[in-house]
Structure 1
Amino acid sequence: MIELALIGIGTGNPDHVTLQAIEAMNAADLIMIPVKGPEKTELAELRRTLLAMHLKNPERRVVEFDLPVRDVVTTSYGGTVADWHGAIAEAWEAVIVDTLDPGTPGRVALLIWGDPMLYDSSLRIAEILGRRILLKPRVIPGITAIQALCAAHAIPLNEVGAPVMITTGRQLRDHGWPADAETIVVMLDGECSFRSLDPEGFRIWWGGCVAMPQERLVAGVLSDVAAQIVKVRETLRAENGWVMDIYLLRRMS
C-alpha cells in the first residue's frame, strides 16, 4: 500500500504552509516535484525552497520528473484532459516504482498549489493511479487562491447571506454571466474573459501572483479597470515567464 499525500501549499508564499503540511513532508519516503518546462522552472524552484526550509532530514528522497504536456484540443476538451491525466498518472507511477522498494509500504508526497480539492486535478489523477497500484490518497488542505485574493483586497467573499459561484474563464466566455448569480469567482482564465461582459454592470477584484513578492492587485468598476488588468497581467507574464491570476466579480446594484 502506497500512501499518497497531496499537500496544499497555498499560492507560493512560504507562510502559507501549515504545520500539518510540514509534518506530512517530513513523514514522506519520497517527494515528487513536477517540472513543466523552462518557462515554469520558478514554480519548481518554489517547491525546492519550501522543502529546503521545512525538511528536517536533508537526505529525504526528492525526485523531479518531467510533467507531460497537455495536447492541443482537437476534438473534445474533456477527452484531451482525460488523456493528459492518464499520462501524468503513468509519470507518477514510473517515479514511485523506480524509487521505492518493491512490495513494501511507502509514503509519497506531492506539493500542490493552493488546495488539492479546488480546481486541481491531483485527486482525479490519484484515482487513475489507484487502478494501477495499491494506493491510499491523503489530502492536506491548503490556503486557496480564493482565500488569498479576498485577504489581499480585504473583502468578504460573499454578500450577506448570499451564495457565491466558482467558475472558470472558459465557462464565462462560452456561457456568459451565470443566471441568478450576484458574485462569481473566476479561476483558470488565461484570456481575461471578463472582457466578454458588459463592463458597466460589474465590479472586479483581480489579483496576479497573489501573496507572492510580485503580487499585483487591481480593483474597481470593470469599465474603468479592464484595460489596466490586461496590461498588468501581460507585464507579470513577461517579467516572470508565467502568471497565476484570479478575480472576483459582483453585479452592481
Structure 2
Amino acid sequence: MTLFIKNGTLIDGTGAAPVANATILVDGGMITKVGDIQPPEDAIIIDAQGGTILPGLIDTHVHMMMEIAALQQRVSTPFSMNFYNAIHHMRRTLDAGITSVRDAGGADLGVKQSIERGLVPGPRMQISISVLGITGGHTDGWNPSGVNTSLFPAYPGNPDGICDGVEEVRKKVREVLRAGADVIKVCSTGGVLSPTDHPNFTQFTEEELRVMVQEGQFRNGVKVMSHAQGAEGIKNAVRAGIHSIEHGIYLDQEAIDLMLEHGTFLV
C-alpha cells in the first residue's frame, strides 16, 4: 500500500525546523520520500488539512492487559475480557499517535502476534510477559483471607512470576524468555497496588538481580527493566546492571549518581 500525505507541517524528529506544506510518500509502511514530489497513480492520498505530521511516538511503559478495578468488578469479570479490553487499548494507543510500545507486564505473545498478523490494529510491541517478583512482594496477590488478587494471574503462555533464590530466579527468567519475552521485567521494590508490601520495601538481592541480567545477556543481550520505587531497591538494580528503572519515586542523590555512572535509564 502506498500513501501520499500532503498539506501538513512536518516535524521529522531530527531536531530540524518544521517544514510547512510538506508532502510525504509512504510505501509498504516505510517513509520513502519527503519533499517536492507527486503522488504515484496507485497512491492513496491523505490530506492532512493543515495539521501536523510527525513520526510515530514510542511509549516505553504500558500494560495493555492490566485493568485496575474494584475487587467485586474484577472477580465477576470473565478472564477472557482481558483480551478484548486489550484490543480497545491498542486501538486507542494508535489513535493517540503511539506506534511502538514496551509492555511492562501482562500481555503475552499472542497479543503481540495478533497485531503482527494484522488481526487487530495496534502498535509494535516489545513484551515482557510475566513480571518477576518475590513471595510477599509487588507481584504477589496473596491476602490474609486466602484470596489472590494478583494483577498478573498466571495462565498458559504467561507463567507465574513469583520466584525466590538465585536458581529459582534463573529458571523463571528462562521460562519468560521461552514464552516470548523481548525484555525481562522485575520488581526490585514494593509498590502501591500489592496487598502485603510497601513501595520502599527492597525486593530481591543484588545477586538475584545479577542473574536476571546474565540470563538476558545469554540471549543476545535481552534487556532488563525494573519496577523500582524505594531508593535501596533502585541502587541494587543499578549495581546489578539492570538497564532501566521504572518509576524511581524515592530516588536519592546516591541513586542518581549511580544511574549516571552506569548509564541507566529512568522511565
- TM-score bin, normalised by smaller chain: under 0.3
- Which structure: larger Rg? 2
Q: Which has a greater percent of helix?
A: 1
Q: TM-score, normalised by structure 2?
A: 0.25
Instruction: Answer 1 or 2: higher relative contact order, Cα 8 Å, separation at least 6.
Output: 1
